[in-house]
Amino acid sequence: MATKLRARRHRRVSPTSESRLAQWTLIGLSLLFMGVILVLPLYAVFHEALAKGIGTFFAAFAEPDAQAAIRLTLLVAAIAVPLNVIFGLAASWAIAKFEFKGKAFLITLIDLPFSVSPVISGLVYVLLFGAGSFLGPFLKSYGIEVLFALPGIVLATIFVTFPFVARELIPLMQDQGTGDEEAALSLGANGWQTFFRVTLPNIKWGLLYGVLLCNARAMGEFGAVAVVSGKIRGQTTTMPLQVEMLYNEYNATAAFALASLLALLALVTLVLKSALEWRFGDEVAAAER
Amino acid sequence: MEVRVANVRKEFDRFPALHDVSLDIRSGELIALLGPSGSGKTTLLRLIAGLEMPTAGKIFFGDTDASEKTVQERNIGFVFQHYALFRHMTILENISFGLKVRPRSTRPPAGEIRRRAMELLDLVQLSGLEKRYPNQLSGGQRQRVALARALAIEPGVLLLDEPFGALDAQVRRELRKWLREIHDRTGHTTVFVTHDQEEALELSDRLCVMSQGKIEQVGSPDEVYDHPTSPFVFGFIGDSSELPVTIENGEVWVGGRAIGIPAHDTPTGPARLYFRPHDADLIEADASMAGVVTASRRVGGTRRVELEVGGDGHKVEIDLPFDHPAGEKTRLSFRPKRWKLFPAA
């Protein structure tokens, strides 16, 4: 009996494991695909950026236009991400903890920016605040420029990135229910105490995750911003726009230098995310659906 | 503290969960709200807590009207079925939470909070675990922490929502005994919700049996078990057998034959006879019920047989000595020594 069992174990590790050939074919295919689609382009970015030596690479960042683009990108993210955190928290709180009519509709609406082309998201603001609209000239008479200026870029970025935080938090908060909040209230805590001491700690990993994704997208957004920015060099060009402009001017090294900075941002986001998952694996796993 | 629930009605989206419920809870008693799911017992508990607000009616804590007060103002201790411990806080932080969130004017100093939390940890027999996190404790331990946390704010009333519902049978029995001890020591007015009649009968001073948003009966475990006032309570508490009968000439008739049970107080016509399986005596007399054994199983020290009585296929259960030779198709005559008649609805 015992020898029989051992013999069987030798032949197959488990009933769900495939043969060696199938395993290696699948692994090989995935690696090949990732190599061609992801690693190779990433390598190309850094290779091209450093092609004319490290000096030229850093010279690209010394350009006043490049610096202005980096500053603008950081500023836009610094405004859009906190606003989306507040919006995401409010929306997911409302959806997870209350019952109201039109809840399903609100959830669908939150997903809208995912399904709408970013170019259209930009055009919406052109229609709203453009010269032919009602709002544009009205705000202009008070000296507020929306289109081809910072407010427009920020608005477009918020629109494109607002699902990230909410999408991350809604399933998490729905899953956690209202038990902890009720417990805190029954112990005498007021609304703010309950939020800061109970709700927020319960969702912190999901929130951080959402913020990371939101930030990466806010800094990298191209389509929507391109429509509303007007691409005034040194004033309304963000990093992705600057990359495109430099590239169109055949200034490949500078374009790829700036692009490498964006790629680096993506890599940092990924590393941070993995580090969080590794360090707080259980909590993050619990925080996901 | 006394709690008085006066004519409370509660609707969820026009769906009534409680109809006109009134209940007086005595100071210092341990009372169980017992009923099947959907009976409104948890809703009643949450209304007392202030986690829900009544559609109509009032709730008094002592002489003060608590109906309009928020859950924070009511000073209640609430224990949830799934513990609802704060997972990012240690056991000690969980227990101290209620004191730490008090406004500065009424908040005890940090040392005092710690001392009280440690005292409570000792009371729930978990000393030494203060630095652990909830997910490092067993279900039974978590529920004890939840109780300590609720007691920390020195509540006027302690409310427990199916406190042992998520635990296995062994731990459940231990905690039951332990909760009774804690109650006797601290003397809090305690209301707990359960669907487990055994738990309610063993633990409570009084129990309040609920069904379909109404209170069916309130009384001591003995009263409710021995003198159920409605067919629902008879069927829900303890084992019971039930049979449709006819009342004629002040006697109970089954299948065209008088069975030797007087029924002077029940109106003539159809009725339902209820009795406990262990109250049935085997007798050799014409005035008895007769049935054919259709199933038989050993239950502890007795044998429980299922009998088909009368011609209509109605089945009742009675208890026999475990060595009684009755097998399938055996014909038995019996008569309950205690019973209850309810007019047919």
pLDDT in tens, A135-162: 888 888 888 888 888 999 999 999 999 8
CB-closest option in B84, B87, B146 to A182: B84
pLDDT in tens, B222-241: 999 999 999 999 999 988 99
pLDDT confidence of residue A4 = 52
Nearest CA among A269, A281, A271, A278 for reference residue A219: A269
A124 to chain B, minimum CA–CA distance in Å? 39
pLDDT confidence of residue B52 = 92
Poorest-pLDDT segment among B12-16, B117-121, B179-183:
B12-16
pLDDT confidence of residue B30 = 95
Q: What is the identity of the amino acid at B195?
A: H
Distance CA B124, CA B127 (A): 8
Mean pLDDT of B258-284: 88
The 8-class DSSP code of residue B264 comes to: S
Quick check: B78 and A190 CB within 8 A? no
The 8-class DSSP code of residue B107 comes to: P
Quick check: A188 and B150 CB within 8 A? no
Mean pLDDT of A170-191: 91
pLDDT confidence of residue A1 = 46
At B292, list the tokens: 């054919």
Quick check: B153 and A202 CB within 8 A? no
Round the average pLDDT of chain B to a whole number and report it: 91
CB-CB neighbors (< 8 A) of B71 in chain A: 182, 185-186
The CA distances from residue A6 to A2, A11, A16, A19, B257, in Å, are: 6, 9, 18, 19, 71
- pLDDT at A284 > cutoff 60: no
Round the average pLDDT of chain A to a whole number and report it: 86
pLDDT confidence of residue B53 = 92
Handedness of CA A78, A79, A81, A82 (dihedral sign): positive
pLDDT in tens, B147-168: 999 999 999 999 999 998 888 8
pLDDT confidence of residue A287 = 43
Beta bridge partners of A176: none
CB-closest option in B72, B78, B152 to A183: B78
Question: Rounded to 5 degrees, what are φ and ψ at B65?
Answer: -80, 115
- pLDDT at A288 > cutoff 50: no
- pLDDT at B207 > cutoff 90: yes
CB-CB neighbors (< 8 A) of A202 in chain B: 87-88
Q: Chain A residue with minimal CA distance to B153? A: A187
The residue among A100, A187, A200, A280 with the most chain B CBs within 10 A of its CB, best to mutate, is A187
Q: What is the percent of chain A with per-residue pLDDT over 70, rounded to a whole number?
A: 92
The residue among A98, A178, A182, A186 with the most chain B CBs within 10 A of its CB, best to mutate, is A186
Q: Indicate the pLDDT class of residue A6, thresholds 50, 70 and 90.
A: low
pLDDT confidence of residue A141 = 85
Q: Indicate the pLDDT class of residue B284, thresholds 50, 70 and 90.
A: confident
Mean pLDDT of B15-21: 91
* DSSP states along A106-131: HHHHHHHHHHS-HHHHHHHHHHHHST
B166 to chain A, minimum CA–CA distance in Å? 15
Q: What's the length of chain B?
A: 345
pLDDT confidence of residue A138 = 85
Q: Chain A residue with minimal CA distance to B78? A: A186
- pLDDT at A11 > cutoff 60: no
Mean pLDDT of A255-268: 88
Q: Indicate the pLDDT class of residue B309, thresholds 50, 70 and 90.
A: confident
Q: What's the length of chain A?
A: 289
Q: What is the percent of chain B with per-residue pLDDT over 70, rounded to a whole number?
A: 100
pLDDT confidence of residue B56 = 93
Mean pLDDT of B265-286: 88
B92 to chain A, minimum CA–CA distance in Å? 15
CB-closest option in B84, B87, B101 to A188: B101
Residue B118 sits at the vertex; the CA angle it makes with B114 and B119, to the nearest 5 degrees, is 115
More confident residue, B313 or A226: A226
- pLDDT at B280 > cutoff 60: yes
- pLDDT at A31 > cutoff 80: yes
CB-CB neighbors (< 8 A) of A183 in chain B: 78, 80, 84-86, 146, 149
CB-CB neighbors (< 8 A) of A197 in chain B: 86, 97, 101
Q: Cβ(A218)–Cβ(A153) under 8 Å?
A: no
B280 burial type by CB count under 10 A (0-12 exposed, 13-18 middle, 19+ buried): buried
Quick check: B102 and A188 CB within 8 A? yes
